[in-house]
Amino acid sequence: MKRATALVVMLAASLVLAPLHRIEAGPRAPVIVALGDSLTAGLGLKQNEGFPVQLEAALKARGTEVRIVNAGVSGDTAAAALARLDWALPDDASAVIIELGGNDALQGIPPEGTKAALEAIIAKVRARGLPILLAGQEAPRNMGKDYVDQFRALYAELAARYGVIFYPFFLDGVALNDGLIQEDGIHPNAKGVAAIVENLLPKVDELLAQVEAKH
């Protein structure tokens, strides 16, 4: 009985004195926040057809582990997105895709107002140390040439000023294509989103490279 007690005491002592081996966690998958309007939110699409879901699936199909957060709100202007930015960006965000401005153009908001709101968003995201991919928009031609030109230029100007990754037109190759657009003539259908993702992937690769470089 005494021998058994002594063995228990020795075993307990060995457990206490034995070095603790920590299990190191593997690298965390990057979290990209897609901050946008209905084009990001997926208006008129099934849950698995929207831009964030299709982008994440395309990246994972190539062996890139990543999580895309859908921070799109239908109807948002750039100013509205700025107002919700603080709670729209999760603490674990690694990078941000900014897709905004379409509603500004549809509402005829002066380009300088859209530019100021986007600039404030970029400044706040940069203050968090997060890489940015800025996707531009085009204004409807019925707004007049001056408005269209000023609106288009504001994205390139912001991208150059802040050195962010730039994709000139989010709907490039999709807008005005009946086979890729929903009946409303504005929002992409599932095939249209797939085309956007394919076109945007090289820029997303650049974004992920910047995320990797920070670690």
Q: Which residues participate in catalysis according to the annotation?
A: 38, 184, 187
In angstroms, the Cα distances linking 73 to 77, 103, 179 are 9, 11, 25
Whether the CA torsion 133, 98, 148, 141 is positive or negative: it is positive
What are the strands, taking DSSP E only, across 63-175? Answer: 67-72, 95-99, 132-135, 165-167
* Rounded Cα distance, 202 and 215, in Å: 21
Q: Taking a C-beta distance cutoff of 8 angstroms, is the pair 128, 93 a contact? A: yes
β-pair partners for 32: 68, 95
What does residue 26 show for φ and ψ, rounded to 5 degrees?
-70, 170
Taking each helix axis as running N to C, give the angle between helix 78-88 and helix 111-127, from 0 to 180 degrees, rounded to the nearest 10: 10
For 60-97, give one letter per residue: b (16+ CB within 10 A) or e. eeeeeebbbbbbbbeebbbbbbbeebeebbeeebbbbb
